Structure 1
Amino acid sequence: MRHEGLHQTVAAIARSRPGAPALTGPRGTTTYAELDRAADALAAGLVTAGVAPGDLVPVVLPRSPELVTALLAVLKTGAAYAALDPGWPPARRREVIGQLGAPLVLDEAHVAAPAAPGYRPARVRGTDACSVFFTSGTTGSPKGVVTTHRATARLFGRDSFARFTSETTMPLAAPVPWDAFSLELWSVLLNGGTSVIVDEPYLSAGALRAGISAHGVNTAWLTSSLFNMIVDEDLDAFAGLTQLMIGGERLSTAHVARFLARHPDVLLLNGYGPVESVVFATTHRITPVDCARPGGIPLGTAVPGTRVTVLASPGEEGEICVAGDGLAIGYLGRPELTEEKFPTSAGTGERVYRTGDLGVLDADGLLHFRGRADRQVKIRGHRIEPAEVEAGVLALLPVRSCHVLARRDDTGAATALVAFCVPVRDGDRLTGARDVLTEVLASHLCPAAVVSVAEFPVTGTGKLDEKALLALVPPGPSTADGPGPSTPDEPVLAAVLAAMAEVLGTRTVDPAATFTELGGDSLAAGRVCARLAARLGRPVPVSRLYQHPTAAALAEWLHSPPPAAEGPAEASEVPLTPMQLVYLTKHLTTPDDLTSHCLLTWVVEGGLDRAALAGAVAAVHERHEALRAAYVADPRPVARLDDLGPPELEDLPPEESTESAIRTLRAMFSDELCLAEGEVWRTALVPAGDAVVFGCLVHHIAFDGWSEAVLADDLATAYRGLPLPPAPAMSEVHRAGLTRLASADPVAHHENLRADLTGVPALTWPDGLSGGEPDSIGETAIPLSRTVVAAVDEQAAKAGVTRFTVLLGEWAATLAEVTGQDDFAVGVPVAQRDGAGLADVIGCHLTMLSLRMRDGVWHDPREVGEVITRALRAQDVPFTEVVRITGAGRTARPPVFQTLFALQDNRVPELRLDGARTTFVRQPYLGLPLELHAELWPAADGSLLLTVHHQRRAVADTTAHDLAKRYAERLRTIPSGVRS
């Protein structure tokens, strides 16, 4: 493969597997035979038009089957192609085409060609020119890098750094001028795989999900910036991949660690390489160990046909040099630069490329990146020479001098360019300067801001003070001034405005302003669309935000039915709430997990009408959509209302006692539920002597503590033969939640959560993590008398807080006493049933608050109350978002908090069946999501029952018992009156 032209390899595959799919996408599928015939026909026409071997042909087409056909056709003529971006400003396009000196420009006017029977493509050598990539140049003009067929082919043979076979299915989504486009295209076509053409600006989370779902995408490439964005916004979008390549910029270890924790079976590769050694020079398979390396994730070892050295002694920093089959022929029309950058090694006599990157080779032969020896930067995968941008600014704007710097994020990655200019006229603010630059400069070269300065500051040594210049640019839109956002009554527009405000970090968003006018860039657009897709339960392609760039216009488009190609949201599909997404994700990743199984059990005495009870189960199932939905994530996470039938009332063999009957039910209900097929709940009966034990198992995705009493009431009503009133549709309930979410102030919430929860230490149990059986749960129960509860209520009244506030404060004090920590967080479940008609609806209408307890706040109930109030204001921020904005990441232990505290003051589910006596028996949990749960259960006589459940693999029995005992003792010693 390395010794022939790329087109010759593809033609051989077309002969051996003519019907195999080569290209697929929104416009259908093209087989290898069809692709090869079309390319032959176009190549014959190009030869007639004057294209000859050795020519350099510009191809100006968007990502499409026509583009791939055109590239193959150019190669079949013996020429090389230069794929150019149709979106480039005309001036840049003319400049590049002029450098190529081509006989024609292959664009939309030239791609149609009749069949060419008998046409024989040119046969070329692997060392012949194949493609020209244009990159940023220090002289102010783009420079063309001329590469060979073998430079690309070397990467994708049997000895490749990844798995590329006829089964490989990969999105074609990179910008067409990049060598990353070659990675996506030729890795597939040279191995008989399938290239999935993406008509979005880039591979967004939505496009990735759609590719995996509709086409079986199993391999993908992402720049570090795009990877970080998808990890932040839609971590489960990667589900279905077998291998993922990332790179182009320094990797964020935090994002990589989150990915590896969620997708441990996906091969994750860090790829490094300048375009002068096509695509990759080194790769590294990333493991969790790499995330803890002090120097960051390694660049790795050389890919096939490539040699990498460092101009320094072993273990010392030096310039990275690359040699081998991947090297470019040189720079187009610039022999002096070619000679400078591609010298011949005095020791080996081979050509090498001096990258300008600094690195270190460690004792294991791994290459580590250490920065640049010059000013070159990479932004979203684009290699940029600030000097080229400076030359453009000086040519286009009325300025005497200019200096372009890169703004960087917390990881050190460059995120945007800023042009600092000294204007010709003193005091000129250079208003509208950026608009002038966008007409000429490519989008990745255009500065995000143009700042007018009277002079350039210098350091004490006379050098440019870059820090002082960058300090002149605010980090983002101001959030300190101005009123909070006004919330429109229309929920979709409110959702769009809220998403934009969150991503842009601003309180107010003008519905009529374009996203770019608001300060948004392409990655910010991806974040907005990912959040809207999750909240609205339908795809929101990034291209739609480009086509409808204002919040008002995008909301109007969202009101229209989506075209079939985008996967329309059916009328029977309802988007999931954030908490339901958490439960669905857990179910998909660990189907046998029992922590989301809610178990209810009643002992029935005095006679039971089985037929009436089975009819009642069916009636309840029909009334509540949450119980008769299938919960799926393909192609998007929704509840699908497919008119699924009720669960069977299963009859189990008799047992000798109610205790053994309950154990039988627990064993039966320990089997996994199949949410995708609508198995959300199960019911069963077990005879036990003169009694019958009736059990219900419901998945948490459709149930919460409030739902217990609703279920019991509805079963009793239907058992009596009475009709059940209609319940609100899930779509109405979720729309109400969406409106509430959109009415919040996202910026303030995020700021408060970041301040309150960043850096929360994990709880350290006195005996350490126990290491017991994963499924083993310990339980401690201690009754608290009415006298104790009365003292709690008296203290709460005098402090002006609730009973729960006092109980939580005492629990925090107990945790501090037992663990010796004065800083930790506690999770608290909160019902979200403030919407009309939700009081008697079964469903998952709750969220989890993260309450940070520190600095002895538990000593004053009023301070505990302030912590609770502050958390309640941000209760609509999903927990996954809390984890992201606080940087909690994912570890083997639950993030943010490891213990739950709840006052379970929901009504007791009393199942009043005519002609029978029923007793509700509260069962121990089948599984615990957190390491320790402390709950207080009110009784009819005014007392409370304290239960402490714990995972024995995490918390020792002695620790759990000690916590429960000390907490009960603290409550029992609360005197009448306010404590000192």
Structure 2
Amino acid sequence: MAAARPGKPALVHGPRTTTYGELDATADSWAARLAEAGAGPGSLVPILLPRGPRLVTALLAVLKTGAAYSLLDPDWPPIRLAEVCARLRAPLLVSDAPPAGPGLPAWAPPREPLPPPPGFRPAAVRGADPCTVFFTSGTTGTPKGVVSPHRATARLFRPGGFARFGADTVTALAAPVPWDAFSFELWSALLNGGTCVIVAEPYLSPAALRTAVTRHGTTTVWLTSSLFNMVVDEDPDAFTGLRQVLTGGERLSAPHVRRFLARHPGLTLLNGYGPVESTVFATTHRITAADCDRPSGIPLGRPVPGTEVCVARGDRVCAPGETGEICIAGEGLALRYLGAGALTERRFRTLRLGGRETRVYRSGDLGFLDADGLLHYLGRADRQLKVRGHRIEPAEVERGVERALPAVKYCRVLGRTDDSGTVRDLVAFCVPAQPGDPLEGAAAALHAALPAYQRPAAVVSVAGFPTTARGKLDERALLALVPGPPPAAGPPAGEPPAGGPRGADPVLRAVSGVFRSVLGREQVPLDVPFTALGGTSLDAGRVCARLTRALARPVPLSLLAAHPTAAGLAGRLRAAQPPPRPEATAGGAVPLTPLQVVYLTRHLALPGDRTSHCLLTWVVEGELDRAALRGAVRAVHRRHEALHSVYVPDPRPSALPADVPAPSLEVLPAAAGTDAAIRALRDRLRGELDPLGGEVWRTALVPVAGSRVAVFGCVVHHIAFDGWSEAVLAGDLAAAYNAAREGRKPPGPLPPSLAELHAARAGAGPAAGQLDELVRELTGVPPLAWPAGPGGQDPGGHGSGGDGAPGGREPGARERFSVSFPPGVLPGVDALAARAGVTRFAVLLSQWAASLAETTGQRDFAVGVPVAQRWAQGAERMVGCHLTVVCLRLRGAALGGDAAAVAETGRLVRRALAAQDVSFAEVLASLAPPGNHRPPVYQTLFALQDNASPRLELAGARSRFVRQPYLELPLELHSEFWPGPGGGLRLEVSFRTGAVPPGAAGELTRRLTERLHASARAEAA
């Protein structure tokens, strides 16, 4: 994949994107150095890094040496880390900050990229070779190392398997790193050319899920059933925009599944089952509403590729409907337990299946296969528990408690369930060595000895263990001894009455109230950490989800982790409270940005101008609910202040949020064919917009006669819109449409207001001297002179089919050339960028500049480059005009088209971006001689358009976005690179026919095309 699509995003982590080419090159570099340090075939290498790009790179590097990796959790206590590393007998530990105890030489991955050593080649491995070691809870009191081969993971992603995985797959990487679920999330994307969105939060909370979908286009997520239930309870609309949800790890709750299916009827929901010994999944089942009414619960499903499943009693395979132990066979099976031969022989046995002796894993799970071959789960044959997706052997926890608390003679650990029967947490019942010992300091000792998921929520001192009449442990009697929450009478010191904290602080009242509701307590102390009050990690997710709704702004899990008390969290939220809404500011007006002033000025001077019209078009196939679509338009109109504002020039250019009616959905007569419908929509949306009167967007729908197809589109004035807004608008329209169909409110949270964004930008501004520097740089830029082509025709015939050559022509307005570059062109571009230490954008701009210089014969000109300005918190969720245009003067060394030109262009780009806060209006005012008009600083625009695609995912229908040619162009020529199919690029050169001869635009397109193909050939050689 790295060779075929080196520029395609592999990992996304916050603002940082790592391409396949970058990931592969860095992993090669690290692998060579790991091999020198002792890693290689047959070795098992532990990795102790937080979830992030460095962890993924290190994992790949270990595999490239031929070794197997084992991911350790940085939050594990030192005693467990030391125990696990000793079991691995590793040559080294990959870690930035190794803890004391493991006793291994540490290898810290380099912070700066290093080139691979000459001659390095990744080691060859077979499918049966060890790939990874998963550590899970053990019945003997120590963690078990499960050695899994390469084939076990690879089998899951064969074509035509249980789920849809491809180059368009975007997966949230959010599972705890030691889990096999982390392996599933990672490889489901990377083995198929997709993208992993690395979640920074401890787990995929509703807020993190929303961000992953809306900001990064995540299509696929895996959730434990307890986490799935929490999201369904707290924020069911957080799933909107996904393509498939996989859940499991514990028995599913039918009521939660039923509510999910009703809310998201078009979303695939899969139940996945499989112990770690069978690597992620052994069976899956696509859940339907009818499954929620089965007496035995939602089925576990059928085997995944390369897997067999049976139910057995002893050595006899059970008949359909007969209960027995679930046994799993096939390529997904682990090779062995690490250093535990006897255990391996006991759990991995041989059964006669289909007339042959077959190695199987005896899972300890009870179930049956029905007459249709569906596997059903009935419980455990032993004490094993699942808590929030973690597999727990109580014996291991008991051993840990006894080891950490010397005053304990005997310990028994039980699971405490919630109303749905899911194990909520653990309780340790301890018999002290000295009767009456209060077991002081137990919490601190267990914190240091046990991983978080194994720590008991309560430690109860008992004189002995009660038994039933048959002499078995009476678990119900033990659990009845667990103390409940403190009585409600008389608040403790520092605790306000049950109605909430004293005083008028609404934030503290909200936090305290949410703490109480989640914990089910009438009172909560304000200075006691949430976990000390009995809150679990999932409870923390509920707190953050409810506060996000109550305060109408994101409250991430990391914020609660850093400020765990009600008082502390409220104080942090209060300190970060957003500024007043626009109505609280003087007159409610929000100043326009310099670029918005340009758009407003142009509208005042030329009301019929179309250069600021942004056109979006979708072809929709299926049952389109027009009433829901009208409701979606109204909902999105209310949601985004930029769409319901008036834009006025006096007393200063401002936007005023107002009660502007939403545009109506105009339904045009049916057209004879999709192309005709697109043309009709375009003609209809060419009409004027009026920012001064608050009419900044319009919508229309054109049915296609005799079909279930319609063309839907909208036009938005640039003063309230930009390229980033396309995906935001499409996502919000889809979410509101799907909500309207189901009779519910559209999902939140609301984006920031215009005033909030303006306040966030208030501290920004140009550095001293930048205006003068820009004026000096741009003084004397000559006008760009276009040569006439032969007969005014395109000399090379480089138009592209339906797009036109020129494409999408409207006489007297503008024309367009379009060229598609296959993925193989990008390696040359990226290699040149890497050698010059610049970005892909700088290489493309440099090649374009050289081509323009050759076309025009001019060695000095300027170009405008649009730059998104969405760095303020929450701005990524806003529809609006949040960008500027920087001006680069290209001359001399920047026009050679060689490596030196690329480096010089990169320097110019960096300098321009550093000065992006300088108002270009001020630059123009300083450049213009007294009494003269605007000088011709730049007449062309160049852009690498890498915004998310505007996906309109309507329930019950399929939508395809169609990017139409611009209605009009503000500049003489626009050159834009867009993402192309399969990871390639598409070049579009649009130009005004009254200014640029088609022959000149065609010559520019031809020269640039040849340059990029030449780069690809040079790299291949």
TM-score by length of 1: 0.58
Contact residue 537 and residue 569 of structure 1 kept, 8 A? no
- Work out the CA distance in 1 between the residues paired with 2:39 and 2:289: 51
CA separation of 1:52/1:569 partners in 2, compared to 1, >3 Å: closer, same or farther?
Answer: farther
Alpha-carbon displacement from aligned partner over 1:136-193 (angstroms, at most 9, x marks no partner): 0111110100000010000012132100000000111000000000010001000000
- Work out the CA distance in 2 between the residues paired with 1:673 and 1:127: 53
- Counterpart secondary structure, 1:591: helix
CA separation of 1:257/1:646 partners in 2, compared to 1, >3 Å: closer, same or farther?
Answer: farther
The residue number in structure 2 matching 1:334 is: 340
Match for residue 92 of structure 2 among 97, 104, 107:
104
Contact residue 630 and residue 676 of structure 1 kept, 8 A? no
- Work out the CA distance in 1 between the residues paired with 2:716 and 2:39: 56
Contact residue 493 and residue 555 of structure 1 kept, 8 A? yes
- Work out the CA distance in 2 between the residues paired with 1:181 and 1:493: 37
- Tell which deviates more after alignment, 390-399 or 26-35: 390-399
Match for residue 412 of structure 1 among 421, 424, 427:
421
Contact residue 21 and residue 31 of structure 1 kept, 8 A? yes
The residue number in structure 2 matching 1:231 is: 232
The residue number in structure 1 matching 2:788 is: none
* Cα distance, 1:480 vs structure 2: 6.8
The residue number in structure 1 matching 2:387 is: 379
The residue number in structure 2 matching 1:497 is: 512
Contact residue 206 and residue 539 of structure 1 kept, 8 A? yes
Match for residue 559 of structure 1 among 574, 585, 589:
574
The residue number in structure 2 matching 1:508 is: 523
- Counterpart secondary structure, 2:222: strand
- Work out the CA distance in 2 between the residues paired with 1:30 and 1:593: 39
- Work out the CA distance in 1 between the residues paired with 2:144 and 2:490: 45
- Counterpart secondary structure, 1:120: coil
CA separation of 1:534/1:285 partners in 2, compared to 1, >3 Å: closer, same or farther?
Answer: same
* Cα distance, 1:114 vs structure 2: 2.7
Contact residue 633 and residue 662 of structure 2 kept, 8 A? no
Alpha-carbon displacement from aligned partner over 1:356-375 (angstroms, at most 9, x marks no partner): 00001111111110000000
* Cα distance, 1:507 vs structure 2: 2.0
State yes or no: 1:54 paired with 2:42: yes
- Counterpart secondary structure, 1:554: helix
* Cα distance, 1:196 vs structure 2: 0.3
- Work out the CA distance in 2 between the residues paired with 1:153 and 1:529: 36
Matched residue type, 1:627:
D
- Work out the CA distance in 1 between the residues paired with 2:54 and 2:311: 42
- Work out the CA distance in 1 between the residues paired with 2:236 and 2:109: 39
State yes or no: 1:448 paired with 2:457: yes
Contact residue 630 and residue 675 of structure 1 kept, 8 A? no
- Work out the CA distance in 1 between the residues paired with 2:62 and 2:249: 28
User: Where does 1:175-186 land on structure 2 (aligned, <5 Å)?
Assistant: 175-186=176-187
CA separation of 1:594/1:301 partners in 2, compared to 1, >3 Å: closer, same or farther?
Answer: closer
CA separation of 1:177/1:630 partners in 2, compared to 1, >3 Å: closer, same or farther?
Answer: farther
**Long gaps (5+) in structure 2:** 97-106, 313-317, 492-496, 585-624, 636-645, 647-653, 664-689, 697-711, 719-736, 740-752, 757-1021
The residue number in structure 2 matching 1:358 is: 366
Alpha-carbon displacement from aligned partner over 1:713-751 (angstroms, at most 9, x marks no partner): xxxxxxxxxxxxxxxx9999xxxxxxxxxxxxxxxxxxx
Match for residue 439 of structure 2 among 409, 423, 430:
430
- Counterpart secondary structure, 1:439: helix
Contact residue 358 and residue 371 of structure 1 kept, 8 A? yes
* Cα distance, 1:41 vs structure 2: 0.3
CA separation of 1:420/1:48 partners in 2, compared to 1, >3 Å: closer, same or farther?
Answer: same
- Work out the CA distance in 2 between the residues paired with 1:320 and 1:497: 46
State yes or no: 1:521 paired with 2:531: no
State yes or no: 1:194 paired with 2:195: yes
* Cα distance, 1:549 vs structure 2: 1.3
CA separation of 1:623/1:191 partners in 2, compared to 1, >3 Å: closer, same or farther?
Answer: closer
CA separation of 1:385/1:477 partners in 2, compared to 1, >3 Å: closer, same or farther?
Answer: farther
- Work out the CA distance in 1 between the residues paired with 2:284 and 2:299: 9
Contact residue 170 and residue 189 of structure 2 kept, 8 A? yes
Match for residue 395 of structure 1 among 403, 422, 437:
403
The residue number in structure 2 matching 1:660 is: none
Matched residue type, 1:464:
L
The residue number in structure 2 matching 1:151 is: 152
Contact residue 144 and residue 331 of structure 1 kept, 8 A? yes
Q: State how many pairs are aligned.
A: 607
- Work out the CA distance in 2 between the residues paired with 1:372 and 1:289: 25
The residue number in structure 2 matching 1:222 is: 223
User: Where does 1:475-490 land on structure 2 (aligned, <5 Å)?
Assistant: 476=485, 478-479=487-488, 482=491, 483-484=497-498, 485-490=500-505
CA separation of 1:388/1:185 partners in 2, compared to 1, >3 Å: closer, same or farther?
Answer: same
CA separation of 1:427/1:235 partners in 2, compared to 1, >3 Å: closer, same or farther?
Answer: same
CA RMSD of aligned residues (A): 3.6
The residue number in structure 1 matching 2:115 is: 115
Matched residue type, 1:75:
L
The residue number in structure 2 matching 1:591 is: 629
- Work out the CA distance in 2 between the residues paired with 1:626 and 1:374: 65
- Tell which deviates more after alignment, 104-113 or 270-279: 104-113
Matched residue type, 1:279:
V
- Work out the CA distance in 2 between the residues paired with 1:82 and 1:356: 25
TM-score by length of 2: 0.56
Contact residue 501 and residue 512 of structure 2 kept, 8 A? no
The residue number in structure 2 matching 1:541 is: 556
* Cα distance, 1:550 vs structure 2: 1.6
- Counterpart secondary structure, 1:351: strand
- Work out the CA distance in 2 between the residues paired with 1:97 and 1:573: 60
- Work out the CA distance in 2 between the residues paired with 1:144 and 1:46: 22
Alpha-carbon displacement from aligned partner over 1:222-274 (angstroms, at most 9, x marks no partner): 00111111111111111100100001111111111111111111100000000
State yes or no: 1:14 paired with 2:14: no
CA separation of 1:506/1:16 partners in 2, compared to 1, >3 Å: closer, same or farther?
Answer: same
- Counterpart secondary structure, 2:364: strand
Matched residue type, 2:400:
G
CA separation of 1:156/1:630 partners in 2, compared to 1, >3 Å: closer, same or farther?
Answer: farther
The residue number in structure 1 matching 2:296 is: 295
- Counterpart secondary structure, 1:545: helix
Alpha-carbon displacement from aligned partner over 1:783-840 (angstroms, at most 9, x marks no partner): xxxxxxxxxxxxxxxxxxxxxxxxxxxxxxxxxxxxxxxxxxxxxxxxxxxxxxxxxx
- Counterpart secondary structure, 1:23: strand
The residue number in structure 2 matching 1:461 is: 470
- Work out the CA distance in 1 between the residues paired with 2:715 and 2:466: 63
Contact residue 134 and residue 145 of structure 1 kept, 8 A? yes
State yes or no: 1:211 paired with 2:212: yes
CA separation of 1:120/1:731 partners in 2, compared to 1, >3 Å: closer, same or farther?
Answer: closer
- Work out the CA distance in 2 between the residues paired with 1:384 and 1:588: 51
The residue number in structure 2 matching 1:627 is: 659
The residue number in structure 2 matching 1:92 is: 80
- Work out the CA distance in 2 between the residues paired with 1:27 and 1:365: 46
* Cα distance, 1:519 vs structure 2: 1.6
